[in-house]
Amino acid sequence: EAAVTQSPRSKVAVTGGKVTLSCHQTNNHDYMYWYRQDTGHGLRLIHYSYVADSTEKGDIPDGYKASRPSQENFSLILELASLSQTAVYFCASSVGTDGNTLYFGEGSRLIVV
Amino acid sequence: GQQVQQSPPASLVLQEGENAELQCTYSTTLNSMQWFYQRPGGRLVSLLYSPSWAEQRGGRLTSSAASNESRSSLHISSSQITDSGTYLCAMGLSGSFNKLTFGAGTRLAVCP
B104–A41 CB contact, under 8 Å:
yes
Q: Per the CB < 8 Å rule, is B1 touching A97?
A: no
Residue pLDDT, tens place only, B40-94: 888 999 888 776 555 666 688 888 777 666 788 899 999 999 999 999 998 876 5
Evaluated on CA atoms A33, A42, B2, B7, the torsion sign reads positive
Minimal-distance CA residue of chain A relative to B104: A42
Contacts of B10 in chain A (CB under 8 A): 40
CB A6, CB A42: distance < 8 Å:
no
Which residue among A40, A99, A106 sits closest to B98, beta carbon to beta carbon? A99
DSSP string over A62-99: TT-EEE-SSSSEEEEEESS--GGG-EEEEEEEESSSSS
Question: What percentage of chain A exceeds 70 in pLDDT?
Answer: 95
pLDDT of residue A106: 95
How much of chain B, in percent, has pLDDT values that exceed 70? 79
Q: Nearest to residue B111, comparing CAs of B83, B76, B75?
A: B83
User: Is there a contact between B4 and B24 (Cβ–Cβ < 8 Å)?
Assistant: yes
Do residues B64 and B72 make contact, with C-beta atoms less than 8 angstroms apart?
yes
Please check whether residue A5 is in contact with residue A105, taking contact to mean a CB–CB distance below 8 angstroms: yes
- Rounded to an integer, what is the distance from CA B57 to the centroid of its chain? 13
Mean residue pLDDT of chain A comes to: 93
| Closest chain A residue to the Cα of B10, Cα to Cα | A40
pLDDT single digits (tens) A32-63: 999 999 987 789 999 999 999 999 999 899 99
Write the CB contacts of B101 (distance below 8 Å, at least 6 apart in sequence): A42, B1, B2, B3, B4, B26, B30, B90, B91, B92
At B98, the pLDDT band (50, 70, 90 cuts) reads: low
**Which of B41, B96, B98 lies closest to A102 in CB terms?**
B98
**Termini Cα distance of chain A:** 36
Residues on chain A bordering chain B, Cβ-to-Cβ distance under 8 angstroms = 4, 31, 33, 35, 40-45, 48, 50, 58-59, 90, 92, 94, 97-107, 109
Identify the bridge partners of residue B37 per DSSP, sorted by sequence position: B45, B87
The half-sphere exposure of B8 on its side-chain side, counting CA atoms within 13 A, is 11
More confident residue, B54 or A9: A9
